[in-house]
């Protein structure tokens, strides 16, 4: 006669045997089994001489190193995805095929670095208000990168910077009084304007290489002056910023294609992103 403990152990032994059989039969459809809720799976890979398969993430800012690593470690179905918003390229090296999908957890990532000039540009030319001092010092830091214009034509950078430092706010008040035989009306109008003793720039061209490895680009900045407070506030905005982002993403994709092609390997490069689901 079997007692309760013996029956439990026999049941557990039978369950373990069933589980082992289901896990080993990975080519069949019998990959699931019912086990008690207190069972726990243990991965013994760390005790093996080698890992069962390659998985991990490599990151670099060098397109050539990215291509070299991706090509060397690519498996069936490997593909590169260029993410426009993040300006990165991710190679999924074990993506697999529709018939034999991979785990998609062995990656290589290209993250080109922003240049110092482009970083400074994007920090200030975001449409937010800045002080005269902040904008003037930004232009003083990058004199070889800028060209300033207004309706009168080109302005030398030193004069444009001096004009920004000398901006002042003037309030103008105008009062009208009209008297007629049967009526009397009075109206007043007050306006605030920003003026400077030097010609103020309205458009600034900032020419720089945005990311290391990409071509030089000319960014057009619109300069606006807000006069709501006691002191003027200056805003800078990049014209067609979204179009620049699309162009840079496309250029990054072409850079990756060229780097991979130089390794004499045909690997698809797509604009987009990929996320594996469990």
Q: 19-64, pLDDT tens digit by residue?
A: 666 555 555 545 566 566 666 777 777 877 888 888 899 999 999 9
Query: Measured between alpha carbons, how far is 172 from 191 in angstroms, rounded to an integer?
Result: 5
Q: Are residues 202 and 136 in the same domain?
A: yes
Query: Considering the domain boundaries, does residue 255 fall inside one?
Result: yes
Q: Are residues 120 and 233 in the same domain?
A: yes
Average pLDDT over residues 211-228: 90
Query: Considering the domain boundaries, does residue 218 fall inside one?
Result: yes
> Which residues form the domain of 87?
52-111+241-272
Alpha helices in the chain (DSSP H): 4-24, 63-73, 116-124, 132-141, 157-165, 241-261
Q: Are residues 120 and 229 in the same domain?
A: yes
Query: Considering the domain boundaries, does residue 101 fall inside one?
Result: yes
Give me the pLDDT at residue 18, please. 63
Query: Considering the domain boundaries, does residue 278 fall inside one?
Result: no
Give me the pLDDT at residue 171, please. 44
Give me the pLDDT at residue 206, please. 97
Does the pLDDT value for residue 258 go beyond 50? yes
Query: Considering the domain boundaries, does residue 98 fall inside one?
Result: yes
Give me the pLDDT at residue 45, please. 73
Number of separate domains in the chain? 3
Question: Both ends of the chain: CA-CA distance in Å?
Answer: 46
């Amino acid at each position: 006669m079997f007692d309760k403990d013996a029956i439990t152990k026999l049941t557990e032994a039978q369950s373990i045997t069933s589980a082992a059989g289901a896990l080993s039969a990975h080519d069949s459809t019998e990959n699931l089994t019912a086990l008690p809720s207190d069972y726990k799976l243990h991965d013994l890979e760390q005790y093996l001489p080698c890992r069962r398969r390659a998985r991990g993430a490599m990151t670099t800012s060098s397109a050539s190193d990215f291509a070299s690593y991706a090509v060397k470690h690519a498996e069936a179905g490997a593909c590169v995805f260029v993410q426009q918003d993040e300006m990165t390229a991710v190679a999924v090296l074990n993506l697999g095929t529709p018939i034999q999908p991979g785990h998609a957890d062995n990656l290589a990532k290209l993250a080109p670095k922003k240049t110092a000039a482009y970083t400074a540009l994007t920090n200030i030319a975001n449409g937010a208000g800045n002080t005269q001092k902040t904008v003037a010092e930004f232009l003083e830091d990058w004199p070889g990168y800028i060209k300033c214009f207004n309706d009168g034509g080109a302005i030398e950078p030193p004069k444009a910077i001096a004009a920004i430092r000398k901006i002042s706010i003037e309030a103008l008040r105008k009062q009208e009084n009209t008297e007629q035989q049967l009526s009397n009306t009075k109206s007043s109008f007050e306006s605030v304007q920003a003026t400077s003793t030097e010609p103020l720039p309205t458009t600034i061209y900032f020419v720089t290489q945005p990311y290391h490895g990409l071509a030089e680009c000319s960014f057009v900045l619109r300069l606006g002056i807000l006069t709501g407070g006691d002191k003027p506030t200056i805003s800078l905005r990049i014209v067609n910023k979204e179009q620049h982002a699309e162009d840079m993403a496309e250029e990054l994709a072409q850079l990756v294609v060229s780097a991979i092609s130089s390794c004499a390997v045909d690997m698809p490069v797509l604009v987009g992103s990929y996320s594996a689901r469990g």
